[in-house]
């Protein structure tokens, strides 16, 4: 038992967990980026409306 045992059993056992965590983290990150972009668009629209009202 040693490194060869770990390479034969440990890595294949951990690979699905690593893959799952990578998928979940990337999904959360994409969701966070979309929320940030949506908030920025909302702020920009609000600022544009304020500018329109000030012109009147």
Q: What is the pLDDT of residue 11?
A: 86
Q: What residue segments make up the domains of the chain, in order of their start?
A: 23-56
SS3 of 56, please? coil
Q: What does the DSSP 8-state code read for residue 10?
A: I
Q: What is the pLDDT of residue 1?
A: 66
List the pLDDT tens digit at each of the 56 positions of the chain: 677 887 888 888 899 999 999 999 999 999 999 999 999 999 999 999 999 998 87
Q: What is the pLDDT of residue 3?
A: 78
Distance CA 6, CA 11 (A): 7
């Amino acid at each position: 038992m040693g490194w060869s045992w770990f390479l034969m059993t440990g890595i294949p056992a951990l690979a699905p967990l690593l893959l799952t965590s990578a998928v979940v983290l990337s999904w959360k990150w994409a969701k966070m980026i979309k929320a940030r972009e949506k908030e920025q668009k909302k702020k920009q629209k609000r600022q544009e409306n304020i500018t329109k009202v000030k012109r009147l």
